Structure 1
Amino acid sequence: MKTIVIIGGSYGIGKAIVKETIANHHIINISRTEPALKHSNLTHITCDVLNDVLPEIETMDALIYCPGSINLKPINSLTETDFETDFKINVLGAVKVIKQYLKVLKKSEKGTILLFSSVATTLGMPYHASVAASKGAVEGLTKSLAAELAPNIRVNAIAPTITETPLASKILRTDAIKDTINNKHPLKKYLAADDVAKLADFLISEKSLAITGQIHKIDAGLVSITS
């Protein structure tokens, strides 16, 4: 049984990853809010990773950083503080966590780190300047760390299209909007959090031991093909 540390496993994609992996692994969830899910394999530690001192953890095999932001505004409405906030959530939080736990993760025979990007780094999408800039940095961090930490630790990122989570609820606010977004994707669907969780489970498993430094798009065909 592996020990998986999930940052932000109480909601959205993080919560789905906990559900996907909990039967076979010991999960340590670090977030501000305790998850509703109760399981003998789940340990929760209440912590604001951006502002608090991170807890000591003795052993881990995988580190998954889930926090993100969806701050969609025209460039004229975005402030420098908006950019700084998104960068702190998406990039500096990940850096803080990785630096804290890298020595512990190196003790694992097959350690892995999983980060999250967005299809907005590949597609030119209006109103995404701040989040795309931050997620672009996540992708650079992923590739750089994959090179630096090989062969002992694999580092990958997932870049999903819009996913039905509490974070995206302001976008997916009506059935008409949902239908419009569905139809923009060649597979005529956007993502459920479970779709992303299944890919995350694969990327931290021994089925993906030859994969590192990759940005894995899960996008219902949005980036690569047209409908």
Structure 2
Amino acid sequence: MKRLIVIGGSKGIGNAIISSLLPSYDNIVNISRTSPQNTHPNLKHYDCDILKDDLPDCDKVDGLVYCPGSINLKPFNRLHVDDFKTDFNINVIGAVKAIQKYIPALKQGKNPSVLLFSTVATKLGMPFHASVATSKSAVEGLTKSLGAELAPTIRINAIAPTVTNTELASKLLRNERMVTNMNERHPLKKYLQPEEVADMAGFLLSDKAASMSGQIFEMDCGIVSFKL
């Protein structure tokens, strides 16, 4: 049986990943605080708060995806230490907890792989991103360090997307003018759809990416890579 665990797969990118990969896995386990938007005989949901609750046991896991994130955009002088702690807990501590829980099960899997999420804000300095960029930079450090430590048994990579059309980013895309401006900010004149990120996730979890570990893959629509 081929099994995938997705933490935070009920909405946004996580939901797109589950929808995309259901045909490829005999069993997908979604662990989140809300029920998933889709149902399928191969999909099982556990109602769980990653920071408070115990994670369910699994005896064998082939892939682990940690999707929870935050977009807490404020001027630095309006950010409190608790804001940094909250973002760090969601983005980093939750990922650490999940990986530590499922390392034994991943070691029983076939060509096991872990996928985390960063952001283009770790590479592109932007106002009001101090808290989220700090925590996501830690995610990138975790990805590289664990990639080395877990080799050759378990691969670990991260995707660093630009703005993606999800509920989490809805405040950045709440009207036609903001959508137009967001498109214009990116050299490819677009921002991401969750299905695009799900396609990349599927590739990185698959045997096609068997030579890739400890890597950060920027899906930036050109905003980091190009200056036009």
TM-score range relative to shorter protein? over 0.9
Task: Give the Cα–Cα distance (whole angstroms) in 1 for the partners of residues 60 and 32 of structure 2.
Answer: 18
The corresponding residue for 1:155 is 156
TM-score, scaled relative to structure 1: 0.98
Task: Give the Cα–Cα distance (whole angstroms) in 2 for the partners of residues 2 and 167 of structure 1.
Answer: 30
What are the superposed Cα offsets for residues 2-52 of structure 1, whole Å, 9 maximum, x if unpaired?
Answer: 211000000000000001100121211000111121111111111111111
Task: Give the Cα–Cα distance (whole angstroms) in 2 for the partners of residues 177 and 171 of structure 1.
Answer: 7
**3-state DSSP class of the match of 1:6?**
strand
Task: Give the Cα–Cα distance (whole angstroms) in 1 for the partners of residues 96 and 65 of structure 2.
Answer: 12
Return the offset for 1:109. Answer: 2.9
Question: For the Cα contact (< 8 Å) 1:109–1:152, is it kept in 2?
Answer: no
Structure 1 residue ranges without an equivalent (≥5): none
Kindly report which structure 2 residues correspond to 1:1-227, keeping only aligned pairs within 5 A, or say none: 2-25=2-25, 26-227=27-228
Return the offset for 1:55. Answer: 1.1
Aligned Cα RMSD in Å?
0.8
What are the superposed Cα offsets for residues 43-83 of structure 1, whole Å, 9 maximum, x if unpaired?
Answer: 11111111111111121100000000000000000000000
Question: For the Cα contact (< 8 Å) 2:10–2:36, is it kept in 1?
Answer: yes
- Tell me which amino acid in the other structure corresponds to 2:16: A
**3-state DSSP class of the match of 1:170?**
helix
Structure 2 residue ranges without an equivalent (≥5): none
**3-state DSSP class of the match of 2:24?**
coil
- Tell me which amino acid in the other structure corresponds to 1:53: D
Task: Give the Cα–Cα distance (whole angstroms) in 1 for the partners of residues 52 and 103 of structure 2.
Answer: 19
Question: For the Cα contact (< 8 Å) 2:59–2:108, is it kept in 1?
Answer: no
- Tell me which amino acid in the other structure corresponds to 1:60: V
Return the offset for 1:209. Answer: 0.2
- Tell me which amino acid in the other structure corresponds to 2:3: T
**3-state DSSP class of the match of 2:171?**
coil
Return the offset for 1:226. Answer: 2.3
